[in-house]
Amino acid sequence: MDQFTLNLLVVGATFALYIGIAIWARAGSTSEFYAAGRGVHPVVNGMATGADWMSAASFISMAGIIAFGGYNTSAYLMGWTGGYVLLAMLLAPYLRKFGKFTVPEFIGDRFYSQTARTVAVICLIVASLTYVIGQMTGVGVAFSRFLEVDKLTGLLIGAAIVFFYAVIGGMKGITYTQVAQYVVLIIAYTIPAIFISLQLTGNALPPMGLFSDATSSGEPLLSTLNGLLNDLGFANYTEQTDTTLNMFLFTVSLMIGTAGLPHVIVRFFTVPTVKDARYSAGWALVFIALLYLTAPAVGAMARLNLINTVYPNGTTEQPLAYDDRPEWVSNWEQTGLLSFEDKNGDGLIQYVADADANEFIVNRDIITLANPEIAQLPAWVIALVAAGGLAAALSTAAGLLMAISSAVSHDLIKSQINPEISEKGELLSARVSMGVAIVIATYLGANPPGFAAQTVALAFGLAAASIFPALMMGIFSKRINNTGAVAGMVTGLIVTLVYIFLHKGWFFIPGTNSFTDADPLLLSIKSTSFGAIGALLNFIVAYFVSNATEDTPQEIKELVEAVRVPRGSSAAVDH
């Protein structure tokens, strides 16, 4: 059986599974659509949370960023995992105890203001739409290579699948679909990593293989990689080249952005009790760790395999002739995500750090997907990786679209525009909102501002600057009032957006789908790191405005106390 047919069968089987689950678990009420009827088991919810959280950025793009960025990009690992711990310990149990359906609903009730609720909806939509761009980009990348269709066609197919199971099933359907997607993506990620680790180091455990000796040189794998990179003019893989300030702020931005992402927070609204919310957070961390402990090894080994492809003799002195290129290079050239330009006319592939002399351009998003082909693994492994990449992208896309849909239907239409709407009408509006969000996400996915993980990093910065501070102050401070909360959220969102667009948007190149990076406007702080500064400004503005205006009402102070106190942890307090 040829590779294309095998890819089609495996991907088609997983899509059929997702659709079947959606039909079985279709939502029949607003409670099931928004929160899966609050009846999801903690272990099941932990697995679904893992799939929701481990997006195309984690599966497809993160290993590529680590492969090409080395030490500097360890911030992705520290920020995303650290942020999940913040979410699990500081936010999730308290928000579940509050007993509402959405993040804007909590903000609106806690700050006793429909304005605060509306601002929270705007922040949620901006961050979630930015995030979903990365997922749809990942869908296009996977489809364009493995099912041999152009990226736009792949986007449309992926959007159609998400539309079907998300619109029909709501949070209930998405939850059980994400469980299946987690199983697919984690198997697809770890099996190739095990094969490649055995090939390069003889160690079957990729995290251990990363620190083992390379079989080709007898020296530590990272030392071997550093030597090859130095010969080609690249910085050491284990060397820090970014400023400490930017790395610190980027890590903080990813951490608090993770804790402020609504599509992950709402997963904890689906379990029966506060105690279950804590348990599901712990299980989710276990499921997430399986991929995140493997990712650094995948990145380093992929970079080593890429160099060994271009310089197959174990030395950088004799590059490969372009006419002798392996089949995987030809396959990815057809997608436009890998290219060769013979600048010196010698017919050899020059892969070097000097941009003027480099002839081999590799898109970072393809590393994980191309890894099995580079390592010449069996065809079924390649097909499995294709299904895994799509599972990662679709699971998170569905969660993000669910958050957007809930915010529009529940926090705008039901709460403000038409409070008398029936449950059937609200359910319909939620499904229509979901459909509109999918159309917008598909369009933005076809015109992304960067590769998947970079775009996602911007989304984390926006969530960090706007939503996270409001949630933290709402739970742990009785003094922050509605005026302060609104002022803080608006300040954090606008300042961060302006910084991002000054750094990127004003320099958009007409006729292309990319932005150019200008020099940082403030010290060495890049646009992806500015979310931490935006969050700090949010806290400061909210504090000073709250202290300059009227005190928080007594009933709100009592509400904050009721949410924080651990009484009744075995049963959620619903208001």
Contact call for residues 438 and 408 (beta carbons, < 8 A): no
| Contact residues for 352 (Cβ-Cβ < 8 A; gap 6+) | 232, 233, 358
Give 53's pLDDT tier (boundaries 50, 70, 90).
confident
Q: What's the per-residue H, E or C state across 213-254?
A: ECCCCCCEHHHHHHHHHHHCCCCCCCCCCCCHHHHHHHHHHH
Q: What percent of the chain has pLDDT over 90?
A: 30
The average confidence (pLDDT) of the chain is: 84
Report, as an integer, the average pLDDT of 28-52.
83
Asked if the structure places residue 213 within a domain, the reply is yes
Cβ–Cβ < 8 Å for 185, 395: yes
Token representation of residue 429: 């509006």
Is the pLDDT confidence value at 153 over 90?
A: no
The verdict on residue 78 lying in a domain is yes
Q: Please tell me which residue, 488 or 457, carries the higher pLDDT value.
A: 488
Contact 370, 65 (CB under 8 A): no
Higher pLDDT, 36 or 255: 255
DSSP 139-156: HHHHHHHHS---HHHHHH
Looking at per-residue confidence, does 314 or 539 come out higher? Answer: 539
**For 440, how many CA atoms within 13 A lie in the half-sphere containing its CB?**
17
d(CA 421, CA 384): 45
Q: Count how many domains the chain has.
A: 1
In this structure, the number of other CB atoms found within 10 A of the CB of residue 48 comes to: 30
In terms of pLDDT, which residue wins out, 221 or 166? 221
* Rounded CA separation 171/406 (Å): 10
Separation CA 573–CA 187 (nearest Å)? 38
pLDDT tens figures, 335-359? 788 999 999 999 999 999 998 999 9
pLDDT for residue 543: 96
Q: Which two tokens stand for residue 253?
A: 């931005």
pLDDT of residue 509: 38
pLDDT number for residue 54: 79
Q: What is the mean pLDDT of residues 57-75?
A: 85
| Helix, strand, coil content of the chain in percent (nearest 5) | 75, 0, 25
| pLDDT tens sequence across 434-483 | 888 888 888 877 776 554 445 666 777 888 899 999 999 999 999 999 99
Helix (H, G, I), strand (E, B) or coil at 360: strand
Tokens representing 124?
Answer: 């949620």
Return the pLDDT at 518.
53
Backbone region of residue 379 per phi and psi (left: phi > 0; alpha: psi in -120 to 50; beta: other values)? alpha
Cβ–Cβ < 8 Å for 209, 200 = yes
**Tens digit of each residue's pLDDT (9 = 90 or more) over 272-326:** 888 888 888 888 888 998 999 999 999 999 999 999 989 987 778 889 999 999 9
pLDDT confidence bin for 166, thresholds 50/70/90: confident
Cβ neighbours of residue 294 under 8 Å, at least 6 residues apart?
A: 189, 190, 193, 206, 207
29: left (phi over 0), alpha (psi -120 to 50) or beta: beta
Question: Which of 24-33, 396-405, 518-527, 534-543 comes out lowest in average pLDDT?
Answer: 518-527
What the block records as the tokens of 147 is 């099912």
Residue 500 has pLDDT above 90, yes or no: no
Average pLDDT (362-388) is: 86
CATH classification of the domain holding 87: 1.20.1730.10
Cα gap 434→167, rounded to integer Å: 6
Span 258-275, pLDDT tens digits: 888 888 888 888 888 888
Q: Is residue 220 part of a domain?
A: yes
- In 3D space, the residue among 415, 360, 369 whose CA is nearest the CA of residue 388 turns out to be 369
Q: What pLDDT is recorded for position 450?
A: 53
In a domain, 502, yes or no: no
Q: How far apart are CA 203 and CA 211, in angstroms?
A: 10
Q: State the residue range of the domain holding 37.
A: 3-244+262-302+377-428
Residue 88 lies in a domain: yes
Beta strands per DSSP E along 239-385: 338-340, 360-362
Buried b (16+ CB within 10 A) or exposed e, 240-269: eebbeebbebbbbbbbbbbbbbbbbbbbbb
**Above 70 in pLDDT, residue 389?**
yes
**How far apart, in Å, are the Cα atoms of 72 and each of 243, 354, 499?**
9, 19, 22
For residue 387, what are the contacts with CB-CB under 8 A and spacing of at least 6? 10, 11, 13, 14, 184, 188
Least confident of 100-109, 352-361, 543-552: 100-109
Of 106, 174, 121, 145, give the one whose Cα is nearest residue 368: 145
Q: Cα–Cα distances in Å, from 136 out to 157, 178, 224, 443, 461?
A: 11, 16, 36, 9, 19
Chain-centre distance for alpha carbon 431: 23
> Does 313 reside within a domain?
no
Provide the pLDDT confidence category of residue 168 given band limits of 50, 70 and 90: confident
Give the best-scoring range by mean pLDDT among 46-60, 70-84, 368-382, 530-544: 530-544
Is residue 347 in some structural domain? no
Q: Can you tell me the mean pLDDT for 77-105?
A: 84
Beta-ladder partners of 522: 525
Cα 45 from Cα 433, distance rounded (Å): 24
Model pLDDT, residue 520: 64
Say if 98 falls within a structural domain.
yes
Per-residue confidence at 574, pLDDT binned at 50, 70, 90?
very low
Please classify residue 533 by burial: count the beta carbons closer than 10 Å to its beta carbon, then call 0-12 exposed, 13-18 middle and 19+ buried.
buried
Query: Which amino acid belongs to residue 308?
Result: N
- 511 pLDDT above the threshold of 50: no
Task: Look at 133-137, 360-364, 439-443 and tell me which has the smallest mean pLDDT.
Answer: 133-137
Residue 507 has pLDDT above 60, yes or no: no
Torsion of CA 331, 332, 333, 335, to 10 degrees: 110
| 3-state secondary structure at position 161 | helix
Query: Considering only 199-213, 423-437, 439-453, 520-534, which range has the smallest mean pLDDT?
Result: 439-453
Query: What's the pLDDT at 28?
Result: 73
